[in-house]
Amino acid sequence: MPPCLSRAFHNDRLKLMSWMRHVPHRALVLLLLAGSIALPGCAGSTGGEAALLPSGPYTLTPEEMALDCRKLTGRLQVRLLALRGEEYKVQPSSAAQSMRSATSAALGTDTAKNAAQRAANDRPILDAYNRRLVDLGCPSFDIEKELKARPSAPTPYPSIPARPKRAS
């Protein structure tokens, strides 16, 4: 084969390989687009919210019972920062919800339900940690106030003073 033809053949082959490399991405985009058009009523459906509620109060593990005031306060702060300000968080658009619904159905995941489940599971843990702070005679948190704070609010600190220890 003459060199000019082999170079042309090689260039055409590279173009074909480059196009084929993008085919899976194009097919995925088309699949997601078709799913978002076909499933608009499914986006945001909450179906089983009753199942998201925790089954009962959280019981502290022996390791958690051994934590001192400083470590319990730190754990509470981290969880409060992760959960606070739900009403201030921007909700995704209906198109984004449709895309999430389509991809979660295709992949078998549900990130919105998982986030709601984590939030439902974290609230009893917050209450248990706060009760433990009170039992240890440490300053505790006003959990309701801290959860209603904006996500950009300063780091939560205990606002309920410690009870004085009684003389035995």
Buried b (16+ CB within 10 A) or exposed e, 110-143: eebbeebeeeeebbbbbebbbebbeeeebebbeb
Angle at which helices 111-135 and 69-83 cross, to 10°: 150
Number of domains the chain is built from: 1
Using the structure block, give the residue that is written with the tokens 């082999």. 6
Domain-embedded: residue 12: no
Query: What's residue 88's pLDDT?
Result: 74
Full residue range of the structural domain in which residue 150 is found: 60-162
Per-residue pLDDT of the chain (168 residues; tens, 9 = 90+): 555 555 655 666 666 566 556 556 666 666 666 666 655 554 444 444 433 444 578 999 999 999 999 999 999 999 999 888 777 777 778 888 788 777 777 777 766 666 677 778 889 999 999 999 999 999 999 999 998 888 888 999 999 898 776 555
Domain-embedded: residue 20: no
Q: Give the whole-angstrom CA distance, residue 131 versus residue 116.
A: 23
Domain-embedded: residue 126: yes
Query: What's residue 57's pLDDT?
Result: 85
Q: Are 76 and 133 in contact (CB under 8 A)?
A: yes
Query: What's residue 34's pLDDT?
Result: 66
Query: What's residue 72's pLDDT?
Result: 95
